[in-house]
């Protein structure tokens, strides 16, 4: 199959590979698609991602076959535009750009004006009739090519240009004359020669292959690897290379370049949104060298800005562009992110792709587009990344709270963030690792800052527009961002920043409002998120299309209430040990643990009973008739013991046992490996009176609530860490006997279930037998992961991230289920359990119950529900719907 696909100039490929992102990358596939529907796309060609993978695997040189294909494709461009590559008379210039399956800011981006050398620059000068433009293009090319392909640091070129401008008394690049640029080109070539020891390549084919090689190599750059790790992008995709005829936005006042979104990527509003610059090349907009202007009149007026919008300054080209926007949205049925150039009044499309958007915008656009008839509900459900909902569920700044406003920038990515100021990415990462909330403040950001942006709670930049690197990356990461705060200056020597007449130092607290662009000193209080409107609509659709139920892991009435607001349909895991730590009852708990015999334990348990009953009463009240899974005590008893002399003395005082005795008892309880020690159902086996007390509390509370409200709770009593059927048999009897006693005392009965967690490999293996005793299984995938991988969940942090970096596990297996390994045990447990008991209820309550990839697996495995922490409930509802579609 082909490895080079041409586009533009009327070519038609029947081969669907030419428009397949997997083969030709996002950029290449969309260029082919746009050209195919008749949009004005400069002709070009794409080298496939497969070729990149091959090149990186084999190393060394390019094959003759590829060289021949590229030469042929170049001829296609030459014929279409009527210029020839390397010609001194009428030279073809091309751009070379990377383009992976998904857009990846970590990779080589673009080399423009490739094909210029000492001879072709004269040809460009003659054919364009603009000598200044030709030499300006040449110096841009040398600078860009030297930076991204040859690895010469770009500041060397910038400094040379600054000095030249100073010598001539210029403030601005536009004052440079043709002769000035000619002189700069001489200097730039000198810089390359002295940095590299050889001349800047004059052979245009050498230039082209150098750029192709640089694109391929950039796939394995450190920046790209970091980006892939943060975004779960596999390392074996590779990138395509796009080579395309240049069109020039810098050919005078009738030329321009810009970037645009068909809808507002921050709010989702249905209004064209973008930035443009007259007489400029693409990178001028993105790099923040000149401040871009508004695209539409409405946006300009709203911002109170003076320089004319494109709509006003170039009405004809703008009209054409607006028509293209409409066509593209209808064609792709999604919001598009577009790059365009106007060359001497003619519009050219350079790129389109589904635009990155904030969670808020994604939600609004998905719901709006269903209303517009552009997409159906199912598509809308699939459009919103469940994890992105997280951004919407968290608080925003209280509009009524006082703000100590320092200044304002562009509202580049919404959300509120407070934290201490840090001025570089490494420091941001270090401080964030120590648990500090930090705001990364930079003049502008580049892909080298990605790790710091990820670590920061918010990002502030002095330069760059709404489509600058900082803005795009922050929106993608869901970090609040204020960009282009022109009043901000940063002094890296004193590590201070200045806004107006205020000076702040690194470490001072700053608050950003990414929705308004406000920058404030100190911390500003926040308010709860809006759960109505578009959010409620999408959730309703998700609920309609999902099969699995979504429950929550919660044990306080407040958490239960919040989870219900978020749509939880029951409790999947109530960890009762959390109730034992309560300040008022911890001494009774300790008395129970330290008791020498059963009688002593029962006396202490007697005191705990009313407290536990009140706990359950409150939860049943909030959950009003929904299923509530209560897990009996799980952790080893020594976890509840006092720490330090002071606590021992206090306890001794409270329960009247000497400190020495207490310490001896504590020593006796010491375990070498508590995770595999005296915990879970083993506590119930050795001290059945503990489980008996808990069961009594559950049933008494359930009867009381049923009597009081008429709505009978459905308690599901869950036994943890079971490995054998016999364990469950013994403990189930404890629960059943207690239930029978309570029902006799209360003069009523209630429906209830006894089930077990499947969180040990043996339990999964023996699921058929265990199901004889259990009415339900809940997969405790935290422990199941720990015991299957033999990796301690409390110690894994230290070595798991290198494991993930090296691809040993694709993701942290405690966050996203190891489907390949642990998943087999879940599937086996489910199948074997159901073979014994067809109506066995199956759920998951490990952390994975809130992870979309794991939820998709649960759907496939046929579980009845997933259970997640309260804030994850909406994420789980949406992910469950996506999994079902």
Instruction: Write phi, then psi, for 465 (nearest 5 degrees).
Output: -90, -160
Among 495, 575, 741, 746, binds ligand PEP (CB under 6 A): 575
Among 759, 769, 773, 859, binds ligand PEP (CB under 6 A): 759
Q: How far is CA 855 from the centre of its chain?
A: 17
Angle at the Cα of 332 (from 327 to 338), degrees rounded to 5?
Answer: 70
650 has binding-site annotation? no
Contacts of 493 (CB under 8 A, 6+ apart): none
Residue 432 or 845: which CB sits closer to ligand PEP? Answer: 845
Distance between CA atoms of residues 469 and 233, nearest Å? 19
Does position 574 bind ligand PEP by CB under 6 A?
no
Tell how many helices (H) and how many strands (E) occur in the chain.
Answer: 36, 33
Closest approach, Cβ 563 to Mg ion, in A, equals 20
Q: Which listed residue (451, 469, 617, 638) is catalytic?
A: 469
Dihedral Cα 800, 802, 804, 806, nearest 10 deg? -150
561 interface partner picked from Mg ion, ligand PEP, none, CB below 5 to 8 A per type: none
Residue 262 or 553: which CB sits closer to ligand PEP? Answer: 553
Does position 136 bind ligand PEP by CB under 6 A?
no
252 has binding-site annotation? no
Does position 846 bind ligand PEP by CB under 6 A?
yes
Binding site for Mg ion (CB under 5 A): 759, 780, 783
182 interface partner picked from ligand PEP, Mg ion, none, CB below 5 to 8 A per type: none
Residue 404, helix vs strand vs coil: strand
Dihedral Cα 136, 140, 143, 147, nearest 10 deg? 180
Does position 250 bind ligand PEP by CB under 6 A?
no
Does position 573 bind ligand PEP by CB under 6 A?
yes
Closest approach, Cβ 675 to ligand PEP, in A, equals 9
Query: Is 52 tagged catalytic?
Result: no
Number of residues counted as binding ligand PEP (CB under 6 A): 10
Distance between CA atoms of residues 359 and 266, nearest Å? 8
**169 DSSP 8-state letter:** T
Neighbouring C-alpha atoms within 13 Å toward the C-beta of 537? 15
Does position 718 bind ligand PEP by CB under 6 A?
no
Does position 845 bind ligand PEP by CB under 6 A?
yes
Helix axis angle, 852-861 to 873-884, nearest 10°: 50
Closest approach, Cβ 846 to Mg ion, in A, equals 7
CB distance 779 to 846 below 8 Å: yes
Residue 322 or 765: which CB sits closer to ligand PEP? Answer: 765
Closest approach, Cβ 616 to ligand PEP, in A, equals 18
43 interface partner picked from ligand PEP, Mg ion, none, CB below 5 to 8 A per type: none
Closest approach, Cβ 555 to ligand PEP, in A, equals 11
Closest approach, Cβ 10 to ligand PEP, in A, equals 60
Closest approach, Cβ 783 to ligand PEP, in A, equals 3
Instruction: Write phi, then psi, for 862 (nearest 5 degrees).
Output: 85, 25
Query: Is 481 tagged catalytic?
Result: no
Region of residue 539 (left: phi > 0; alpha: psi -120 to 50; beta: else): alpha
Residue 622 or 760: which CB sits closer to ligand PEP? Answer: 760
846 interface partner picked from Mg ion, ligand PEP, none, CB below 5 to 8 A per type: ligand PEP
Distance between CA atoms of residues 56 and 224, nearest Å? 14
Does position 868 bind ligand PEP by CB under 6 A?
no
Residue 239 or 787: which CB sits closer to ligand PEP? Answer: 787
Does position 676 bind ligand PEP by CB under 6 A?
no
Distance between CA atoms of residues 157 and 416, nearest Å? 38
Query: Could you report how far apart the first and last alpha carbons of the chain are, in Å?
Result: 33
Angle at the Cα of 658 (from 655 to 660), degrees rounded to 5?
Answer: 135
706 interface partner picked from Mg ion, ligand PEP, none, CB below 5 to 8 A per type: none
783 has binding-site annotation? yes
Residue 273, helix vs strand vs coil: strand
Closest approach, Cβ 693 to ligand PEP, in A, equals 20
CB distance 619 to 555 below 8 Å: yes
Element (H, E) at 7: strand 4-7
Helix axis angle, 586-594 to 644-655, nearest 10°: 80
Helix axis angle, 178-196 to 131-148, nearest 10°: 20
Strands 714-719 and 753-758: parallel
Does position 716 bind ligand PEP by CB under 6 A?
no
282 interface partner picked from ligand PEP, Mg ion, none, CB below 5 to 8 A per type: none
265 interface partner picked from ligand PEP, Mg ion, none, CB below 5 to 8 A per type: none
Q: In what side-by-side order are the strands of the sheet with 416-422? A: 404-408, 518-521, 509-513, 416-422, 438-442, 458-461, 481-483, 410-413
832 has binding-site annotation? no
Contacts 24+ apart (CB under 8 A), 307-316: 310/256, 310/258, 310/276, 313/278, 314/254, 314/256, 314/342, 314/345, 316/345
575 has binding-site annotation? yes
Contacts of 372 (CB under 8 A, 6+ apart): none
329 interface partner picked from ligand PEP, Mg ion, none, CB below 5 to 8 A per type: none
Closest approach, Cβ 780 to ligand PEP, in A, equals 3
Start-end of H helices in 414-488: 425-433, 450-455, 469-477
631 has binding-site annotation? yes
236 has binding-site annotation? no
Residue 208 or 800: which CB sits closer to ligand PEP? Answer: 800
Q: How far is CA 795 from the centre of its chain?
A: 25
Residue 781 or 816: which CB sits closer to ligand PEP? Answer: 781
Residue 745 or 795: which CB sits closer to ligand PEP? Answer: 795
449 interface partner picked from ligand PEP, Mg ion, none, CB below 5 to 8 A per type: none
Distance between CA atoms of residues 631 and 720, nearest Å? 7
Closest approach, Cβ 799 to Mg ion, in A, equals 21
Residue 189 or 872: which CB sits closer to ligand PEP? Answer: 872
Residue 410 or 822: which CB sits closer to ligand PEP? Answer: 822
Distance between CA atoms of residues 620 and 530, nearest Å? 27
Closest approach, Cβ 572 to ligand PEP, in A, equals 9
Residue 452 or 720: which CB sits closer to ligand PEP? Answer: 720
Q: Which listed residue (451, 845, 848, 858) is catalytic?
A: 845
Which residue number places its CB atom closest to Mg ion? Answer: 783
* Nearest residue to 630 (alpha-carbon basis) of 739, 547, 762: 739
Distance between CA atoms of residues 564 and 549, nearest Å? 13
Q: Footprint of ligand PEP on residues 771-790 (CB under 6 A)? A: 780-783
Which residues participate in the annotated binding site for substrate? Answer: 575, 631, 759, 780-783
Which residues participate in the annotated binding site for Mg(2+)? Answer: 759, 783
Residues at the interface with ligand PEP (CB under 6 A): 573, 575, 634, 759, 780-783, 845-846
Which residues participate in the annotated binding site? Answer: 575, 631, 759, 780-783
Which residues are marked as active site?
469, 845
């Amino acid at each position: 199959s082909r490895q080079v696909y041409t586009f533009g100039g009327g070519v038609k490929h029947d081969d669907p590979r030419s428009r397949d992102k997997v083969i030709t990358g996002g950029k290449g596939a969309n260029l082919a698609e746009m050209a195919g529907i008749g949009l004005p796309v400069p002709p070009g060609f794409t080298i496939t991602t497969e070729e990149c993978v091959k090149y990186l695997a084999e190393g060394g040189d390019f094959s003759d076959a590829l060289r021949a294909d590229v030469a042929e494709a170049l001829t296609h461009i030459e014929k279409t535009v009527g210029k020839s590559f390397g010609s001194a008379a009428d030279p073809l210039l091309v751009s070379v750009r990377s383009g992976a399956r998904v857009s990846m800011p970590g990779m080589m981006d673009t080399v423009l004006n490739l094909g210029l050398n000492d001879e072709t620059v004269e040809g460009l000068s003659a054919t364009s009739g603009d000598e200044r433009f030709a030499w300006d293009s040449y110096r841009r090319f040398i600078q860009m090519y030297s930076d991204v392909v040859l690895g010469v640091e770009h500041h060397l070129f910038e400094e040379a240009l600054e000095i030249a401008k100073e010598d001539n008394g210029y403030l601005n690049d536009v004052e440079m004359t043709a002769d000035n640029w000619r002189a700069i080109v001489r200097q730039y070539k000198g810089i390359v020669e002295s940095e590299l020891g050889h001349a800047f390549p004059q052979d245009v084919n050498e230039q082209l292959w150098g750029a192709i090689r640089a694109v391929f190599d950039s796939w394995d750059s450190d920046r790209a690897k970091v980006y892939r790790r943060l975004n779960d992008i596999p390392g074996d995709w590779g990138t395509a290379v796009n080579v395309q005829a240049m069109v020039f936005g810098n050919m005078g006042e009738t030329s321009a370049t810009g970037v645009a979104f068909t809808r507002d990527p921050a709010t989702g509003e249905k209004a064209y949104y973008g930035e443009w610059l007259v007489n400029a090349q693409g990178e001028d907009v993105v790099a923040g060298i000149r401040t871009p202007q508004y695209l539409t009149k409405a946006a300009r007026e709203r911002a109170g800005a003076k320089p004319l919008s494109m709509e006003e300054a170039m009405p004809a080209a703008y009209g054409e562009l607006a028509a293209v926007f409409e066509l593209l949205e209808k064609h792709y049925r999604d919001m598009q992110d577009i790059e365009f150039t106007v060359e001497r009044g003619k519009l050219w499309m350079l790129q389109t792709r589904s635009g990155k958007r904030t969670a808020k915008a994604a939600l609004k656009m998905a719901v709006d587009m269903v209303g517009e008839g552009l997409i159906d509900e199912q598509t809308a459900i699939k459009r919103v990344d469940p994890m992105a909902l997280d951004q919407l569920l968290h608080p925003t700044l209280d509009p009524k709270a006082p703000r100590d406003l320092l200044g304002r920038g562009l509202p580049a990515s919404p959300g509120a963030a407070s934290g201490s100021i840090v001025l570089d990415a490494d420091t941001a990462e270090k401080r964030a690792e120590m648990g500090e909330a930090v705001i990364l403040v930079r003049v502008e950001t580049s892909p080298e800052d990605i790790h710091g942006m990820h670590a920061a709670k918010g990002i502030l930049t002095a330069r760059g527009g709404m489509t600058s690197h900082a803005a795009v990356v922050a929106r993608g990461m869901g970090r609040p961002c204020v960009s282009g705060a022109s009043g901000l200056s940063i002094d890296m020597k004193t590590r201070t920043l200045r806004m107006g007449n205020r000076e702040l130092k690194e470490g001072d607290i700053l608050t950003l409002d990414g929705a308004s662009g406000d920058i404030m000193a100190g911390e500003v209080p926040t308010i709860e998120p809006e759960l109505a409107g578009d959010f409620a609509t999408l959730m309703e659709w998700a609920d309609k299309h999902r099969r699995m139920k979504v429950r929550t892991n919660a044990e306080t009435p407040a958490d239960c209430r919040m989870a219900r607001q978020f749509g939880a349909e029951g409790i999947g895991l109530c960890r009762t040990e959390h109730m034992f730590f309560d300040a008022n009852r911890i001494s009774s708990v300790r008395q129970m643990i330290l008791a020498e015999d059963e009688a002593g334990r029962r006396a202490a348990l007697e005191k705990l009973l009313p407290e536990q009953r009140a706990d359950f009463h409150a939860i049943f009240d909030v959950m009003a008739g929904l299923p509530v899974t209560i897990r009996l005590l799980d952790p080893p008893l020594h976890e509840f013991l006092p720490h330090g002399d002071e606590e021992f003395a206090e306890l001794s005082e409270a329960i009247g046992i000497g400190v020495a005795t207490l310490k001896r008892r504590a020593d006796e309880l010491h375990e070498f490996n508590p995770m595999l020690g005296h915990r879970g159902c083993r506590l119930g086996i050795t001290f059945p009176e503990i489980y008996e007390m808990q069961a009594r509390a559950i049933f008494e509370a359930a009867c009381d609530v049923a009597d009081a409200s008429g709505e009978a709770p459905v308690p599901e009593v869950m036994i943890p860490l079971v490995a054998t059927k016999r364990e469950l048999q013994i403990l189930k009897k404890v629960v059943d006997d207690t239930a029978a006693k309570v029902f006799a005392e209360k003069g009523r009965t209630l429906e209830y279930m006894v089930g077990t967690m499947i969180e040990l490999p043996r339990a999964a293996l023996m699921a058929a037998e265990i199901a004889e005793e259990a009415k339900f299984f809940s997969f405790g995938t935290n422990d199941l992961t720990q015991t299957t991988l033999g990796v301690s969940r409390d110690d894994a942090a230290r070595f798991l991230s290198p494991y993930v970096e090296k691809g040993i596990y694709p993701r942290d297996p405690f966050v996203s289920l190891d489907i390949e390994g642990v998943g087999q045990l879940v599937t086996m447990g489910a199948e074997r359990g159901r073979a014994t008991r067809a109506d066995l209820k199956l759920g998951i309550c490990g952390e994975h119950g809130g992870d979309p990839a794991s939820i998709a697996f649960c759907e496939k495995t046929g579980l009845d529900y997933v259970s997640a922490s309260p804030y994850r409930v909406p994420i789980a509802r949406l992910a469950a719907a996506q999994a079902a579609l």
